[in-house]
Amino acid sequence: MVVGLGYVGLPLALAMLGSGRHVVGLDRPQVVERLGSGSSHVDDVSDEQVTLALSGAFTVTSDEACVSRADTVVVCVPTPLSQAGAPDLGAIESVGRMLGEHLTAGTLVVLESTTYPGTTEELFLPLLEAGGLKVGTDLNLAFSPERVDPGNKTYGIQNTPKVVGGVTEQCTKRAVDFYAGFIDTVVPARGTREAEMAKLLENTYRHINIALVNEMARFSHELGIDLWNVIECAKTKPFGFQAFYPGPGVGGHCIPIDPNYLSHTVQTRLRYPFRFVELAQEINSSMPGYLARRIQDRLNDEGKAVRGSVVLLLGVTYKADIADERESPAVPLAVKLLAMGADVRFHDPYVSRWNAAEHSEDEHVLIGEDDMRSAAEQADAVVLLQSHAAYLDGALDGLRLLDTRGVLAGDGVERL
């Protein structure tokens, strides 16, 4: 059984079907209703895959009573940040309480939601045990970080190694056996905390390295050095270097959020800051503001003010060739340009209606341009924010634009 059928839970539930199991997905009524009608809300899963699965061994429901019939429960609910920037474990807590009421002896429970080290044993375990069953004797409990990379055509659930850490050795063994049924390589961790922190190390590593090249992009521009060419040269070293690329900022559900879980833990438990994370945050979150200034400079070179100028943003999702807009740096960039008086327009093959507002209570809805070329020709400034395939292979040839991804070349192209 999978609790939470989002970007992580839905593909996982379908992958489990491959091991010959009957899989039940539990989610809120509106999600269940949509999936039940054969409509997928996740980029990597098609409507056809959902319909096919539902005609076989996959069931979706909002009925919590089905927990008592599950031999394995995998939890993939969201772990966002609160308004104050602290971890919001509300979904994990409510699922933990619900499971405590319904679990039966012999069940394996695995938490997959990204969270700070200690969550599985300090917060989740007591909620499960509130129903009277004990972890280690009546129940098995483990943590296994999700490594889904939406849109990745090479690495999916089956061929991405899975880290698993249980509360006891027996918990780890049972969780390893479970995942080995549909994943090629399962890696046992020493315990739940090591498995929890492995995920945070992976994402913090990306966050910091992206910040490094973002900072370098700024001074490379001033020094007249093509940083993308620098990276191409550096990555020919066959060991000790992994290429990261600059861009308009970081987005998605993981990189801007997960490192906060770790820095929050270090700060609250040990009373000192995790300085690498704080610096990376400062640099990455300042990129939209830096980009707004670069757009202002371009307009200025043409004798134009930002106020009243038409600025066309190409690609507003956080990642190329997916429709996920969560935490996209396109939003803070648009907010800054709007505040400067620009007439902001956008085009994105994956988004037709876009709310260019930073807070959910605000609304600044923009409708996407249908004809990208004619929109670009009417704009005073064109900015490539996302390297969707539709923008490559000559689609933007001849246009004057600011390329924040380093994927275009030609006379009219200025790189970040």
Ligand X SMILES: NC(=O)c1ccc[n+]([C@@H]2O[C@H](COP(=O)([O-])OP(=O)(O)OC[C@H]3O[C@@H](n4cnc5c(N)ncnc54)[C@H](O)[C@@H]3O)[C@@H](O)[C@H]2O)c1
Looking at the DSSP bridge assignments, the partners of residue 312 are: 345, 382
Number of chain positions touching ligand X (CB under 6 A): 25
Cβ-closest position to ligand X: 6
Judged by beta carbon, residue 196 or residue 348, the one nearer ligand X is 196
Measured over the CA atoms of residue 209, residue 212, residue 218 and residue 224, the dihedral's sign is negative
Per rule CB under 6 A, is residue 172 in the interface with ligand X? no
Q: Of residues 79-98, which lie at the interface with ligand X (CB under 6 A)? A: 79, 91, 94-95
Q: For residue 341, what are the contacts with CB-CB under 8 A and spacing of at least 6?
A: 305, 306, 307, 308
Task: Tell me which of 27, 327, 348, 369 binds ligand X, using CB under 6 A.
Answer: 27
Write phi, then psi, for 351 (nearest 5 degrees): -135, 125
Q: Of residues 257-316, which lie at the interface with ligand X (CB under 6 A)? A: none
Coil, strand or helix at 104: coil
Per rule CB under 6 A, is residue 5 in the interface with ligand X? yes
Per rule CB under 6 A, is residue 148 in the interface with ligand X? yes
With tokens 């943003």, the residue in question is 313
Six-digit token string for 314:
């190409």
C-alpha distances (whole Å) from 144 to each of 64, 111, 117, 165, 168 are 22, 6, 12, 6, 14
CB 95, min distance to ligand X, A? 5
Per rule CB under 6 A, is residue 76 in the interface with ligand X? yes
3-state secondary structure 231-300: HHHHCCCCCCCCCCCCCCCCCCCCCCCHHHHHHHHHHHHHCCCCHHHHHHHHHHHHHHHHHHHHHHHHHH
Judged by beta carbon, residue 89 or residue 171, the one nearer ligand X is 89
Which residue in the list 66, 171, 233, 254 is annotated as catalytic? 254
Q: Can you tell me the distance from the alpha carbon of 227 to that of 234, in angstroms, rounded to the nearest whole number?
A: 10
Judged by beta carbon, residue 79 or residue 386, the one nearer ligand X is 79
Task: Tell me which of 7, 58, 143, 179 binds ligand X, using CB under 6 A.
Answer: 7
Judged by beta carbon, residue 260 or residue 404, the one nearer ligand X is 260
Q: Can you tell me the distance from the alpha carbon of 265 to that of 123, in angstroms, rounded to the nearest whole number?
A: 14
Q: Of residues 38-57, which lie at the interface with ligand X (CB under 6 A)? A: none
Task: Tell me which of 174, 253, 345, 347 binds ligand X, using CB under 6 A.
Answer: 253
Judged by beta carbon, residue 157 or residue 340, the one nearer ligand X is 157
CB 123, min distance to ligand X, A? 14
Q: Which residues of 339-361 are buried (b: 16+ CB within 10 A; e: fewer)?
A: ebebebbbbbbbbeebebeeeee
Per rule CB under 6 A, is residue 28 in the interface with ligand X? yes
Contact 27, 5 (CB under 8 A): yes
Per rule CB under 6 A, is residue 333 in the interface with ligand X? no
Task: Tell me which of 99, 254, 292, 295 binds ligand X, using CB under 6 A.
Answer: 254
Task: Tell me which of 8, 35, 277, 416 binds ligand X, using CB under 6 A.
Answer: 8
Contact 414, 401 (CB under 8 A): yes
Per rule CB under 6 A, is residue 196 in the interface with ligand X? no
Q: Can you tell me the distance from the alpha carbon of 339 to that of 359, in angstroms, rounded to the nearest whole number?
A: 15
Interface segment toward ligand X; rule CB under 6 A; list 77-85, 268-276, 351-359, 394-402: 77-85
With tokens 């899963």, the residue in question is 45
- The terminus-to-terminus CA distance of the chain in angstroms comes to 46
Task: Tell me which of 72, 107, 113, 144 binds ligand X, using CB under 6 A.
Answer: 113
- Report the alpha-carbon angle 136-64-169, nearest 5: 15
Per rule CB under 6 A, is residue 4 in the interface with ligand X? yes
Per rule CB under 6 A, is residue 146 in the interface with ligand X? yes
CB 4, min distance to ligand X, A? 3
Q: For residue 12, what are the contacts with CB-CB under 8 A and spacing of at least 6?
A: 2, 74, 76, 112, 146, 148, 157
Judged by beta carbon, residue 141 or residue 340, the one nearer ligand X is 141
Task: Tell me which of 40, 72, 107, 114 binds ligand X, using CB under 6 A.
Answer: 114
Judged by beta carbon, residue 8 or residue 402, the one nearer ligand X is 8
CB 333, min distance to ligand X, A? 22
Task: Tell me which of 26, 111, 314, 340 binds ligand X, using CB under 6 A.
Answer: 26
- Whether 254 is catalytic is yes
CB 192, min distance to ligand X, A? 15
- Residues of the shown chain interacting with ligand X in the complex, contacts defined by CB under 6 A: 3-9, 26-28, 31, 76-79, 91, 94-95, 113-114, 146, 148, 150, 253-254
Q: Provide the annotated active-site residues.
A: 254
